[in-house]
Amino acid sequence: MNKNQPGWTLLSNHAHVLVCLTLDPKMRLRDMASNVGITERAVQRIIAELEEAGFLSHHREGRRNHYQIHTDQPLRHPLEKDCSIGSLLEAVTSQKMQSP
């Protein structure tokens, strides 16, 4: 990490992957890894965890995956349970989220 970048951020890598997919639902794992600053394998694990938790699903379109974020899902921590994934992503990306 260079001197101009912080050693930590307020959002987790899980949130960063969701931000990437909000901006481009067909983003490749390689590109997500590069944007988030983690390995492709870590992105694969995060996506599997998000799908298992019901926050994300995907389907194939040709050779690429198209991801759908389930924006109505509440955040997992008890302090954040009244906030949905969609409202968090709207605040972070300034993009209007639509429920699936």
The CATH code of domain 13-93 reads 1.10.10.10
Q: What is the pLDDT, as a whole number, of residue 94?
A: 82
Q: Is the model's pLDDT at 5 over the cut of 90?
A: no
What are the sequence ranges of the domains in the chain? 13-93
Rounded Cα distance, 100 and 94, in Å: 18
Average pLDDT over residues 4-29: 90
Q: Is the model's pLDDT at 36 over the cut of 60?
A: yes
Kindly report the pTM of this predicted structure: 0.87
Tell me the percentage of the chain whose pLDDT exceeds 70.
89
Q: Is the model's pLDDT at 1 over the cut of 50?
A: no
Rounded Cα distance, 97 and 90, in Å: 6
CA contacts within 13 A on the Cβ side of 90: 11
